[in-house]
Chains A and B, each alone.
Chain A
């Protein structure tokens, strides 16, 4: 049924959405069954052995960098086709993002650029990125922050995995102004989601052979909310006696990160702290242009840059750093079990970064090197 849908795709075009809804149930149930260890099964290879991945260009530097990803994939003969879905950040209707969500449900995997959220628009205009994450229940945002040897930073040899709860917390978008001039913003923490993310964190730590998980919280002030999160982490920790568990308050964490980041191994935390901590770590290893991020749900996975920058000021000037987006596409290839291609591209990127030392402006190269040159270098290295 899945292959029939795919074959009919170019012919039926727009009506595909409806067809997917009819067939969707069977496709999803096949995909949704986790194995005993809870790993997600990648979407089955489509017609011709090629995967289809949803591509959401986004705004700012997203479109150009994702074009480069497509170019590189074509060059490397990667068996992945992209289904491009444009989302207009300026329009108030939610049709665009709903189409994108449907496409991701269909394909199971997506690669996206950041969609701009204009905060001068009325408050009922929700953040598109947030909508995407909550509709697809992409509950875990994973960012693996590693120092790249060829990049000049003040701290060396950082290797931290940050797991951030991606659907609730301060990003609930539930706010109201009961009394004029007084705004209440709700931060939601639930037991289910906290247990789920803690479980994900410990399982990932075990899989990757990590020794310690640190929960980051502010339970001295938000006793019920972060207290619940911390308690859930402790409960899950008791089921993993081989992994050490400790907790740290978020302000102390950021201070320690800036002075001694090597003490951290795996970190798990609610949404807002995750946002801040992942940006601090990205800053430590060289900036937003270097770190890829992945959003995992039970059935879907969406790959993007870790710090989700739109980069409006550097858009279309050929100076953006493509590393983060390319490494994100490698993570995606790993997810689709196309490990050879992933390793090849990753090896080429790291060679360019470390040995050839071809750097873009954000990593402090004094000569402005265009990222096209960078890509050319990656292509030649990957041959």
Chain B
């Protein structure tokens, strides 16, 4: 089949999707062809669909996820962004995994997703796995990247923070492999593999080089977990040898967190296994102003999923119109950049930052009085004031 015919078939089956229940078989038929097409070169964004509009999977999640993602959709419609959302709901309380499997299939189809956090109720039995985790491991989204920057206009105790945190996203302490051989004694397995460690280190150094960063710091606890984190550290050192222009050093996680709290400006790019990444990214998010400000991305070889960096469900502030939409909006800008729709991304990002810094319209988490809808309204006004996007030259 020629490429044109293949993509025509692809468009055709996508169009059929709402009316037939055959989408899964259609997927199976077309996915090998689509995947081959994608894997041939360095990552290319999913091809523009019929009419030049991209389709992105949207997973509302729980808590503040649905309302914030609605705002994103509203904003995109207002700015005429050529992106359509395919909404896939995942029920966090259902014990069956069908929901999340549907979501995974949708992401495989579209290649890009924007999601809210799905709640993991830890009172449910251990056979009920974390849905977020299932998503990350099924799609092999091995790198979680969080760019933590002090935003002007947000009052914080530390200034001028600019740290990129790269966290291994699929293994480590999040293996979900636990067992109780003897009653009252639980063994939890932390898995570190050479392949994944090399991969994430390679990703980190590549990213550092692309962004013109000078230093990569590996965070570990190899003095205690000699084999596990020792292997991780060794892989990082091996990869570092291939990037002589970038300085490589390492730091133990406890010292890292202490240094972050006193002198965070010393860090540039940090790479680490899963759990330390979780803690360090939350510390950094706290330093720049809280969970409502920082977007995060999960990259795999073929897929990318965008969400807030600290993955909070925010149950206590859900549906009260007080959540800070900045993180989700900035995440959607990252998604637009990924789809190569840079002009739209810049426009929205500029409006968001202007609302934060010049208009100083802050939500409750930043100590202000604004509601979510007020912030959105202000952002829309900024965009309108900026004029049609074609004249924006930033």
Q: Which residues of A contact B (CB under 8 A)?
A: 117, 119, 123, 127, 130, 154-155, 170-171, 173, 175-177, 180-192, 218-225, 227-228, 230, 250-252, 254-259, 272, 275-276, 278-280, 282-284, 287-288, 307, 309
Q: Can you list 12 A-B contacts with CB-CB less than 8 angstroms, sorted by A residue number?
A: A117-B224, A155-B157, A183-B192, A188-B185, A188-B186, A190-B185, A251-B278, A252-B312, A254-B279, A254-B286, A258-B261, A307-B254
CB distance A283 to B225 under 8 Å?
no
**Given A255-B286, A258-B261, A221 and B133 contact (CB-CB distance below 8 Å):** yes
Report chain A residues within 8 Å CB of B222. 119
Closest to B231 in A: A183
- In the assembled complex, the CB of B90 is this many whole angstroms from the nearest CB of chain A, namely 16
CB distance A177 to B133 under 8 Å?
no
**Given A119-B230, A130-B224, A185 and B290 contact (CB-CB distance below 8 Å):** no
**Given A175-B226, A258-B283, A182 and B186 contact (CB-CB distance below 8 Å):** no
Known: A154-B157, A258-B283, A259-B286. 16 other contacts (CB 8 A): A119-B223, A119-B233, A175-B225, A187-B189, A188-B187, A190-B185, A192-B184, A225-B187, A227-B126, A254-B257, A257-B286, A272-B221, A276-B254, A276-B279, A279-B258, A283-B261
CB distance B257 to A280 under 8 Å?
yes
1/0 per residue, CB under 8 A from A, across B263-280: the answer is 000000000000100110
**Given A176-B227, A187-B173, A222 and B188 contact (CB-CB distance below 8 Å):** yes
- In the assembled complex, the CB of B271 is this many whole angstroms from the nearest CB of chain A, namely 17
State the majority secondary structure of interface residues on A.
mixed
CB distance A255 to B261 under 8 Å?
no
In the complex, chain B residues 330-364 whose Cβ is within 8 Å of any chain A Cβ: none
Report chain B residues within 8 Å CB of A219. 122
CB distance B178 to A252 under 8 Å?
no
Closest to B256 in A: A279
Closest to A253 in B: B282
1/0 per residue, CB under 8 A from A, across B212-239: the answer is 0000000001111111101101000000
Tell yes or no: B305 within 8 A of A by CB. Answer: no
- In the assembled complex, the CB of A292 is this many whole angstroms from the nearest CB of chain B, namely 16
Tell yes or no: B371 within 8 A of A by CB. Answer: no
Report chain B residues within 8 Å CB of A252. 282, 312
Tell yes or no: B260 within 8 A of A by CB. Answer: yes
- In the assembled complex, the CB of A158 is this many whole angstroms from the nearest CB of chain B, namely 12
Report chain B residues within 8 Å CB of A258. 261, 283, 286-287
CB distance A221 to B258 under 8 Å?
no
CB distance A224 to B193 under 8 Å?
no
CB distance B184 to A185 under 8 Å?
no
Q: Of B173, B233, B258, B290, which one neighbours A283 at CB under 8 angstroms?
A: B258
CB distance A175 to B258 under 8 Å?
no
Closest to B253 in A: A276
Interface size on B, residues (CB 8 A): 59
Rounded to whole angstroms, the CA-CA distance of A224 and B122 in the bound complex is: 10
- In the assembled complex, the CB of A153 is this many whole angstroms from the nearest CB of chain B, namely 9
CB distance B186 to A282 under 8 Å?
no
Rounded to whole angstroms, the CA-CA distance of A66 and B189 in the bound complex is: 39
CB distance A255 to B190 under 8 Å?
no
Residue of B173, B226, B275 ringed by the most chain A CB atoms within 10 A: B226
CB distance A275 to B188 under 8 Å?
no
CB distance A187 to B190 under 8 Å?
yes
Q: Of A175, A185, A225, which one neighbours B186 at CB under 8 angstroms?
A: A225
Report chain B residues within 8 Å CB of A188. 185-188
- In the assembled complex, the CB of A322 is this many whole angstroms from the nearest CB of chain B, namely 19
- In the assembled complex, the CB of B163 is this many whole angstroms from the nearest CB of chain A, namely 13
Q: Of B190, B262, B285, B291, which one neighbours A185 at CB under 8 angstroms?
A: B190
Tell yes or no: B310 within 8 A of A by CB. Answer: yes
Tell yes or no: B203 within 8 A of A by CB. Answer: no
Rounded to whole angstroms, the CA-CA distance of A107 and B276 in the bound complex is: 38
CB distance B186 to A177 under 8 Å?
no
Tell yes or no: B191 within 8 A of A by CB. Answer: yes
- In the assembled complex, the CB of B222 is this many whole angstroms from the nearest CB of chain A, namely 4
Report chain A residues within 8 Å CB of B283. 254-255, 258, 280
Report chain B residues within 8 Å CB of A221. 120, 130, 133, 173-174, 176
In the complex, chain B residues 157-209 whose Cβ is within 8 Å of any chain A Cβ: 157-158, 173-174, 176, 178-180, 183-195
Tell yes or no: B24 within 8 A of A by CB. Answer: no
Report chain B residues within 8 Å CB of A154. 157-158
Rounded to whole angstroms, the CA-CA distance of A282 and B255 in the bound complex is: 10
CB distance B282 to A119 under 8 Å?
no
Tell yes or no: B259 within 8 A of A by CB. Answer: yes
Rounded to whole angstroms, the CA-CA distance of A282 and B262 in the bound complex is: 10
Report chain B residues within 8 Å CB of A224. 126, 178-180, 186, 188
CB distance A280 to B258 under 8 Å?
yes
CB distance B173 to A222 under 8 Å?
yes
Report chain A residues within 8 Å CB of B189. 184-187
- In the assembled complex, the CB of A49 is this many whole angstroms from the nearest CB of chain B, namely 40
Rounded to whole angstroms, the CA-CA distance of A127 and B290 in the bound complex is: 37
Q: Of A183, A251, A272, which one neighbours B282 at CB under 8 angstroms?
A: A251
Q: Of A123, A176, A191, which one neighbours B230 at CB under 8 angstroms?
A: A123
Rounded to whole angstroms, the CA-CA distance of A155 and B226 in the bound complex is: 35
Closest to A117 in B: B223
CB distance A250 to B122 under 8 Å?
no
Report chain A residues within 8 Å CB of B186. 188-190, 224-225, 228
Report chain B residues within 8 Å CB of A127. 223-224
CB distance A187 to B223 under 8 Å?
no
- In the assembled complex, the CB of B216 is this many whole angstroms from the nearest CB of chain A, namely 19
Report chain B residues within 8 Å CB of A256. 286
Closest to A182 in B: B193
CB distance B190 to A251 under 8 Å?
no
- In the assembled complex, the CB of A216 is this many whole angstroms from the nearest CB of chain B, namely 11
Report chain A residues within 8 Å CB of B192. 182-183, 185
CB distance B286 to A123 under 8 Å?
no
CB distance B230 to A282 under 8 Å?
no
**Given A186-B187, A188-B187, A222-B178, A275 and B226 contact (CB-CB distance below 8 Å):** no
CB distance A287 to B258 under 8 Å?
yes
Rounded to whole angstroms, the CA-CA distance of A278 and B290 in the bound complex is: 21
Report chain B residues within 8 Å CB of A171. 224
CB distance A288 to B258 under 8 Å?
yes
